[in-house]
A and B are shown apart, each in its own frame.
Chain A
C-alpha cells in the first residue's frame, strides 16, 4: 500500500542532499546579489517598491538592499537576518557579513561534495573563526590614551567607511562632520542626539554641522523672530480646551445663553492655562501638540515665541540640548526646569525657514544639515552618514582599530592557513576552506574595482608572508599599498562582528538536513 501522507496538502518537505542544496543555492544567490556593492568601487542598486508610489531607492548599503527584498528561500532569510542585526548592532559591515557567510557556504558546498560530513566542516569553521579572531586581536592598535592619535584614527575610519558610499567625493568633509558630531556625544552611543536634516538643493559639499539645534518649524505669526537669552519651556500638552477626562461627562444646555456661558468658561480656561505658562517667565514656548489660534494670539501678545507641533523626537532632543524638562502641567512655575539658549532665530536654508537655537546649555546634541541635488541623493547620503556615525560611536567605546583594504582578511587567512597545516584529521580541509573564504573578500574588492584580482591577491599573500606587514589593496592606484600610510582603517568591533556572525550563520545553515515548508496561510478573499 502507498506510503501515508503525513503533512498537509500544500506543505513540502525537502530532505538530505536536496535540502542542503536548496539552502546553499539560496544563500549563495543572496550573497552574489550584494557582492558587487562591496568596496570603494562597489556599484549601487536601484530598488523599486511594488507599493502604489513605485518609489525608487538608490543605495549600496547591504542592509537596505536586503531588507527590501521579498524572499522565499528560508536559508536566504537567515542571511538577511544577520545583515539586519549587523546594522542594528554596529551599523556597518552589512554587506561584508553576507558576502563572507556566502563564501563560507560556497566553500562548504565543495567540501560536502567531497563527502565531508557537515558536522566536521562546522567544527573546522569554529576552530578557524577562533583562530582568526585571535589573529586580529594580536594586531589591533589601541590609541585610547592618546587623544590626538585617536582622533586621527576616528577620522581614518570615517573616511574608509564613507569611501564606499555616495559621499566618497567629499569624504574628507563628511568624515570631519561625523567625527565632530560623535566627539560631542562624549562616549554615549545615543545617536538620537545627532539630528540629520535633509534639504534638497545646493551640493553635497554645502552640508554642514551646526553646533546648535535646528527645528524644522516655522515661527507663529506676529511673534518675535529673534530672541536673545531665551528661556524655553518645552511642553507636551493639548492647547485647545482640555478634554474633560472624567468618564461619562457631557454638557447639556437648555438655552443659547448657557452655551455662550460655557464657551466663555472654556475660553477662560484656555486663557488661564496660557497665563500659567507665561508666568514661568519664559520667552519661548515649544509644544509637541498643536497650539490653536486663540492661545497663539495670547502668546504673541505677551511677546512669547510659540512653536507648535514639534515632533516627538524634536521635543526630546530639544529638552536634551537646552536642559529643560518636558512639562505637561503648569501649576508650580518655580520648580519646572526651563531650558536656556543664547539665541533663537529664524534662518533660511535653501528656500525653507527653520528655527535655529544656538548657544545651548548642553553641547551634546548637534544637527547635521545635508544638502544635495535630489531626494535620492539625500536619502543615500543620510544612510551613509548614519553608517559612519554608528561605526564611530561604537569605536569610541571600543577603541581598538585595525587597518582596512583587505588587510584584516589577509592577516586572518594567513593565521588560519597555518592552523590548517597543524591540525590533523578532516577538519583541516574545513579550516583551509575558511581561509579561502576570507581571501574572497579582497578578491571581490579588487574585482569590483576592475582590477586583476588574481594577480593582486597573490602579491598581497606574498607581502603578508613578511612579519608585521601593512599591505592591502589600494583601489585608487590599483596596486598593493601600505594601508598605514594610506590611512585606511577599520574598527575592530565591526570586523569581529562580521567574522562571528558570518560563521554563526554559515554554521546554522550547514546544520540543516531537512526543510519543511508549511502551506502558506490562505488569505481570505476580501470582496
Chain B
C-alpha cells in the first residue's frame, strides 16, 4: 500500500517499517471506528436514567469502584482503542464544562454513529453526513432554546433549584435521600454564589467524606473541616471566637537556602548557640501570642519543644495541614496566609466563631470543625455512609448536583427531562429535514432518529416497551403540541414531565448535542488509520 515507484520503476518507501504497521483505509476505517465508538456507548447505555444500573470497576491495584457516572466509568475503564479514547474525552469534556449528562452525551454520540453507518452503507459520502449532522444539531439547539422555560429563584425561594438537583440525583445510588442531598447541594451553592455576577466558584465547596454512620447523617457545614487534630493531646478541644494564625513556615530555626556552616570551636560558642536556639522557639511562639492569635494552623510540623511551648502558653495548634485546606481556611476566616513569623500582624489573623474537635465511632478518628467563620463563603459538605464505595459514589453524585445548581445560577433556563426534550427536538428536526434539498436531508433525518435513542434507552432501562412507549409519547407530543411529554420512568402514572418536576438545564442539553455532534464529525472524517502492530 504504502509503496510507490519512481520514474525508473524503483520502489521507495513512504511509511517506514510498513510491515510492522496495520493500516485501514476508506470505508473500512470508518466502519472500524464506528464500531469502536458504538461499543463504548453500548457499555454506558444501561446506566442511563433513574433506573439505570451501576458498573463495578476493578482498578489495576484491586480497588473496587461502583458507579453509574459516565465520566468515571470511562475514565477507569482502561481503554486501549483510539476511537474509544475519543469517546472518553467526550464524556470528560462534558464533565468539565457542565458536570452532568456525561452518560447521555456518550449514548447520543453512539446513536449518531450507528445512524451514520447506515448512511455509509447507502453510499453517502462521510463529509456529507457530517455536514448534515452539523445542520441538524443547529436546528436542535435552536429548538431547545424555543421550548426552554425560565424560572425564578432567589435566596429564599430555592424550591425550583432543589427540584432540578433531585432530577440529577435520582439516577444515582443516593436516590433514597435525594431530597435532603439536593437541598444540601443547593444551599451550598447558594452560599458561595455571587448572584450579581451569576458566577459560582465550586472550589469554595469542599466535599469531605468519612466512612460510618448513615447517608442521612450527611450534613452541610458552614465552615471548614480539617482531617487533623490538635498537635498536643491536652490542648483545648473547643475554642470560641478563635483568632487564627495561618502559617506556612515551620516552627523550626530558619534554614537559609545558601549553604553555610556554623563552626563551633569553643565552649562559649556552643553555649551561645544553644541559647540562640531556645530563643528562636520562644520568639516564634511569643510572636503568635503577641498578635493575639488563639489558634495556630501550620502547614508544617513542629518540634516537641515548640509543641510544648505552644501548649504551655495556652495556644492550641494544628500541624501538617495541607495546602488546599490552608487556602480554604484563609478564605473562610478572612485571614491571610503568613509565610514568615516576622510578618505576622493582628490584621492578618482569621476569625471563626467556633473551632471544635469531633471524634467518630470507636476508632481514634478525629476531625477539626472550623465554623461560624468571618466570611462564610466557604462551606463543606460532609458525607457519611456505610462504606468507602458508597461515599465515593455519593461524592460524585453531589458533584453532579452542585454543577447543575451552578449552571442554573449562570443561566436559569431549563428544559424538561425524561427524554421529552430529545423527543421534541427529534420531531422538529424531522420536519425541518424536508426543507433541505440534497443528500444532507438523509443525514438530518438520521439525526432525528438518533435523538430518539435517549428516550428509547430510558424506556428500556425502566423496563418499558421501548418502541411502543416512544411512539406513544411522540404522537402525544405532536397531537397536543406540548413538548413536556417524556418517558414515565418511575411509573408515576403521568408522562407530563412538568407535573413530575423533572428538569434539566438548557445549557447542559445543548452542550450534549453539540459535543456529541462534534465528536461524531471528527470520527467520520477519519479515512485512514495507521497504527503500530505487534503481531
A residues engaging B (CB < 8 A)? Answer: 1, 3-9, 11, 13, 19, 23, 72, 74-75, 77-78, 81-82, 84-85, 87-91, 117-120, 126, 189-192, 236-238, 242, 244-254, 258, 261-262, 264-266, 269, 316, 319-320, 325-329, 331-332, 335-336, 390, 393-394, 500-501, 504-505, 507-508, 511-521
Contacts and interface: CB of A to CB of B under 8 A. Distances in A.
Contacts of B173: 507-508, 511
B242 to A, nearest CB: 21
B56 A516 contact: yes
Given A244-B274, A515-B56, 14 more contacts: A7-B80, A77-B64, A81-B388, A85-B388, A89-B362, A90-B361, A245-B303, A316-B233, A328-B307, A328-B308, A335-B312, A514-B43, A514-B56, A519-B60
Interface string B265-287: 11100110110111011000000
Contacts of A78: 64, 66, 387, 389
B144 to A, nearest CB: 29
Contacts, number: 241
A393 B362 contact: yes
A249 B78 contact: no
Contacts of A328: 304-305, 307-309
B56 to A, nearest CB: 4
Given A5-B80, A91-B362, A248-B262, A85 B386 contact: yes
B54 A512 contact: yes
Contacts of A329: 281, 305, 308-309, 312
Top-6 shortest CB links A-B = A328-B308, A513-B53, A521-B60, A249-B262, A511-B54, A89-B212
B212 A88 contact: yes
B431 interface: no
Q: Which of A254, A393, A504 has the most CB of B within 10 A?
A: A504
Nearest to A288: B304
A75 B274 contact: no
A253 B361 CA distance: 57
B interface, how many residues as a size bin? Answer: 35 or more
Nearest to A265: B267
B404 interface: no
Nearest to B80: A8
Given A4-B36, A511-B54, A514-B56, A264 B267 contact: yes
Nearest to B83: A4
B39 A85 contact: no
A247 B303 CA distance: 14
A88 B256 contact: no
B331 to A, nearest CB: 32
B262 A513 contact: no
B196 interface: no
9 contacts: A11-B77, A23-B56, A89-B212, A246-B273, A251-B264, A261-B267, A319-B234, A500-B386, A501-B387
A204 to B, nearest CB: 23
Nearest to B57: A516
Q: Which of B213, B308, B463 has the most CB of A within 10 A?
A: B308
Q: Which of A91, A246, A269 has the most CB of B within 10 A?
A: A246
A89 B385 CA distance: 11
A192 B305 contact: no
B372 interface: no
A320 to B, nearest CB: 8
B143 to A, nearest CB: 32
A251 B56 contact: no
Nearest to B77: A516
Interface string B296-324: 00000001110111011000000000000
Contact of B308 (A75, A244, A327): A327
A245 B55 contact: no
A18 B241 CA distance: 59
A504 B60 contact: no
Contact of B387 (A244, A505, A519): A505
Contact of B234 (A8, A246, A325): A325
B362 A508 contact: no
Nearest to B213: A89
A289 to B, nearest CB: 9
Contact of A521 (B43, B61, B255, B463): B61
Nearest to A393: B362
Contacts of B17: none
Given A251-B270, A508-B173, A88 B362 contact: yes
B107 interface: no
B252 to A, nearest CB: 7
B253 interface: yes
A246 B253 contact: yes
A430 to B, nearest CB: 14
Contact of B39 (A6, A251, A508, A514): A6
